[in-house]
Amino acid sequence: PGRSHLNSTRSNGSGKNIEISRETATTIVAIAGLAMLSFIGATIWLVKKKRRRAEPPSALPTQQQPAPPPPPPNYIPSSAGSSLASDGFYLRSPGYPFMRSSTGSHGFPYSPADSGIGYSRMLFTPENLAGISNDFSDENLLGEGGFGCVYKGILPDGRPVAIKKLKIGNGQGEREFRAEVDTISRVHHRHLVSLVGYCVSEGQRMLVYDFVPNNTLYYHLHVNEVPLDWRTRVKIAAGAARGIAYLHEDCNIL
């Protein structure tokens, strides 16, 4: 008496009836409802997942770098200057429609290459680079390291460049060198010197970079009588670190 029970009863198997309270029944119904909702949600998620897997790869959105528009047949970058095109000083790399095969007014011969380096890089001959660096004279020597010597040169349009004359003897063939040049030409960062062109011939390997003024870091640290202040030192170190970090973490050229 004083306690409400459900009208329906359930047999326990021994002939006796077990009465279930209303609170217990409510709890059981709630749990069963949650279980049913969870089951339905899991089923819907699995069906959608299987549908996504069944879709062809072309239907999925992809992120691709937009390809640069092809240059016109007679295009010459503004940085190279019109004088370079008129005097026949350089040869566009293969794959670019504008290729010159005749000898220009400077008397510089051309030797076609077989690499896939982009059209924005110049292909020099040893005679080209010897002519613009005064035959690699000591007065144009910028520095020397484990990979070779660096000389200053002036292109016919007045653009200064740094010519890195690499040491030969590491067993690297011409094809491997061209592959490395192709890789270097794809690297672009404000703290890295850009590649202007290259030279490859029997027994000679040279890289041509944009000339960076203000002398070398070694000069300012060990030769110059006026020492660098700490603010400038930190700025130089931070810039070098950003360039190295880009090469190791953010550079994706494959």
Annotated binding site: 165
- Tokens 């992120």 belong to 63
What stretches of the chain adopt beta strand conformation (E)?
Answer: 10-11, 17-18, 91-92, 122-124, 141-145, 148-154, 160-166, 195-201, 204-210
Residue that has been written with the tokens 């699995």 in this structure: 46
Q: How many CB atoms lie within 10 A of CB 228?
A: 14
The torsion defined by the Cα of 106, 213, 183 and 165, in degrees rounded to 10, comes to 60
Q: Can you say which residues are annotated as belonging to the binding site for ATP?
A: 165
CA 126/CA 148 separation, integer angstroms: 16
